Copies of this chain bind each other. A is one copy, B any other.
Amino acid sequence: MELKEKTLVKKTILNGNLFNVRKDSVQLVNGDIVTRELIEHPGGACVAAFDENNNVYLVTQYRYGQQRSMVEFPAGKLAPGEDPRDCAKRELMEETGYVAGKLVFIGEFVPTGAYLQERIYMYYADDLTLVGQSLEPDEFLELSCMSFDKLIEKVLIGEITDGKTIAMALKIKALKERNLL
């Protein structure tokens, strides 16, 4: 079955700071014409950085969308034209202060494909060298370090709820078990 929805008209209805909103006119496979709302967002990169003792670096931030603080792997938005790998290095350095000697792409993560353009590029990192954190003004976060096993426990009991952090922690666990990482 052909599932593709054909865009007839693209219309931006909101220009935001963080994202734009479009309301497009779209033709479905049965010929019906409907509207589809879409959030334009450049995407981002996220990094699970391991030290030599199998600890990982995590950041705790207030997430306004969820009205609570959340524990996550360091991540951030792609700058215009930025390569996801460079974004991963930059965010890791800014938020944790570390530069990684080894950085491995482990796949894409789509937060919610129905209405969001955002795509997050996931990375595994190790061989870390401390160069110092450089947060933006108005960026407040707590950096912490936790054993990977403890993080996996927290994921499995549902204490970690950030989607990319759940997916990356468990993907790295499974890849390590198969000696693929």
Contacts and interface: CB of A to CB of B under 8 A. Distances in A.
B113 A28 contact: no
A122 to B, nearest CB: 9
A155 interface: yes
A138 B36 CA distance: 12
Contacts of A112: 65, 111-112, 116, 118, 163-164
A117 B63 CA distance: 10
A53 interface: no
Contacts of A110: 63, 66, 70, 161-163
B3 A69 contact: yes
Nearest to A26: B64
A70 B173 contact: no
Contacts of A166: 107, 109, 167, 170-171
Contacts of A108: 158, 161
A145 interface: no
A55 interface: no
Contact of A17 (B3, B37, B178): B37
Interface string A147-168: 0000010011010011110110
Contacts of A142: 1, 3
30 contacts: A3-B60, A4-B69, A5-B62, A16-B23, A16-B37, A17-B37, A18-B37, A18-B114, A30-B140, A32-B138, A64-B114, A65-B112, A65-B115, A66-B119, A70-B110, A72-B113, A107-B161, A107-B166, A108-B158, A109-B161, A109-B166, A111-B112, A111-B116, A112-B164, A113-B162, A163-B164, A166-B167, A167-B170, A170-B170, A173-B174
